[in-house]
Amino acid sequence: MSQDLAHDVLGQLGRTRRADDSLAISGGDDPVFVTPWRIGRAGSAALGAVGLAVSDLWRLRTGKPQSVSIDLRAAAASLRSNTYVRQNGEKPVSWDPLAGHYPTRDGRTMFLHTNHPHHRAGALRISGAKAETREALAEAVAKWDGLAIEEAIASGGCVGGLVRSRDEWNAHPHGIAVARLPLIDIVKIGEAPPRPLPRGDRPLSGIRALDLTRVLAGPTSGRVLAENGAEVLHIAAQHLPYQTEILMDTGHGKRCAWLDLREPAGIETLAGLVREADVFTQGYRPGTLAARGFSPERLAELRPGIVCVSICAYSHEGPWSSRRGFDSIVQNVTGLSATQGTLEKPHNMPVQANDYIAGYLAALGAMVGLARRVEQGGSWLVRVSLVQVAHWIASLGTIDGSKGAAELTDDELASLITESVGPFGRLNHLRPIVQLSETPAFYARPAEPLGSSPARWA
């Protein structure tokens, strides 16, 4: 059952089941959508664990827990949250037309991610495409063997992955390395005295969280913290690509500021923000921010008691740990897409489960770290990756997905959609999925474009 699975997730962070835990997951079971993977169970379990972590923080504030309830079908819908966004009644465009599956010379299939301009240009250049069209790219990829173009794309700093079966991935050196890792972990990285939660009337009131992430997983984690009262400052850089339409899904409740960490002034400003932060979430490849002077250990020196959260594509261990990746790539290399379709004709899942669940787990780890800070003190590092989520989803087994629906009913969707008005105009988007008995989650401010706010705490 999803309730037990939620407690299993918490157990990986050392949190044992409590006698007064109250978690109810309703709404039936999988399949919700047309997929053999148990994404409803996985999503509702991850969100159930999040709700119990919120309840723990409320207990630390008031001495009383909260009741948590999750609708499994709503949890499944949240794993495709960005598809429900409407801006002034229109659906924003998010996928580049060149992104997708391409047959190779040796009968394999390569998935290329081209949503960022430099990745698009790189895929065209590395493959040898003669024009910026899908037909030209397909013609170029068809001249390569699968493993060769996968390696060329990775070596060239671009993003793609060869479609594999589950068996092939499980025998792959990186698949073997990841199989040894837990879904999520938390390690102590520094000493600090216990610190009570700041005063406030919401579970995360007074908590300051820096969000140095892009695309879906990391920004989703910051959104979860914001919907429970944290002050979340999203830091981005003007020279790095960002899909603005993603902010209309993940930016609710946050302020967004520019910082250029290539410049000494940017480094100094971020260090100053860290000294007053409680949570530091980063979504860059392992070692990237450490090279700028912001390793977890250095963050713990700047701010004893900080909770650092690291989200990446391929985890912190294994031969692919520094490789670039997104949800769609991870689905293909790990065999999720081959199982969704076939190895010869793979299909990505109808949800971006790796991204959103990694985001939920990152927020969960941040909250568990904050609770530890209250009870034990110390500085903490939480680690989660898209590929670890993919392994976890696969471990739940498969079902007959043909009985799932293409979409929730109109009435179901209507009950999940809310509206906010702000700098992006009128946005319709999913409301928070986790239902809490004492402190209902909500967004205190509408989403805003990158760079809308100064790089300082409110």
Burial of 196 (0-12, 13-18, 19+ CB in 10 A): exposed
pLDDT at 287 (0 to 100): 81
185-232 residue pLDDT tens: 999 999 999 999 999 999 999 999 999 998 899 999 999 999 999 999
Q: How far is CA 1 from CA 24, 28, 49, 253, in A?
A: 11, 10, 13, 32
Q: Judge whether residue 94 has pLDDT over 80.
A: no
Cα torsion at 261, 316, 342, 166 (round to 10°)? 180
Quick one: pLDDT band at residue 290, thresholds 50, 70, 90? confident
- Measured CA to CA, the distance from residue 393 to residue 7 in angstroms comes to 16
pLDDT at 92 (0 to 100): 87
State what percent of residues in the chain have pLDDT above 70: 100
Quick one: pLDDT band at residue 62, thresholds 50, 70, 90? very high
The 3-state DSSP composition of the chain as helix, strand, coil percent (nearest 5) reads 40, 20, 45
| pTM exceeds 0.85 | yes
pLDDT at 437 (0 to 100): 98
Beginning with the edge strand found earlier in the chain, give each strand of the sheet holding 307-312 in spatial order: 185-190, 379-385, 307-312, 279-282, 208-212, 231-236, 254-258
User: Residue 26 is which amino acid?
Assistant: S
Quick one: pLDDT band at residue 2, thresholds 50, 70, 90? confident
142-171 residue pLDDT tens: 999 999 999 999 999 999 999 999 999 999
Q: How far is CA 272 from CA 195, 233, 276, 401, in A?
A: 20, 13, 7, 50
pLDDT at 177 (0 to 100): 98
Q: Cβ distance 163 to 337 under 8 Å?
A: yes
Q: Cβ distance 101 to 346 under 8 Å?
A: yes
pLDDT at 284 (0 to 100): 86
Q: Judge whether residue 44 has pLDDT over 80.
A: yes
Query: Where do we find the tokens 């998010």?
Result: 94
pLDDT at 95 (0 to 100): 79
Q: Judge whether residue 302 has pLDDT over 90.
A: yes
pLDDT at 91 (0 to 100): 92
Q: Cβ distance 353 to 214 under 8 Å?
A: no
User: For all residues of the chain together, what is the average pLDDT?
Assistant: 96
Query: Where do we find the tokens 């109109």?
Result: 410
pLDDT at 79 (0 to 100): 98
Q: Judge whether residue 377 has pLDDT over 90.
A: yes
Q: Judge whether residue 399 has pLDDT over 90.
A: yes
> Cβ neighbours of residue 19 under 8 Å, at least 6 residues apart?
none
Question: Mean pLDDT across the stretch 84-91?
Answer: 95
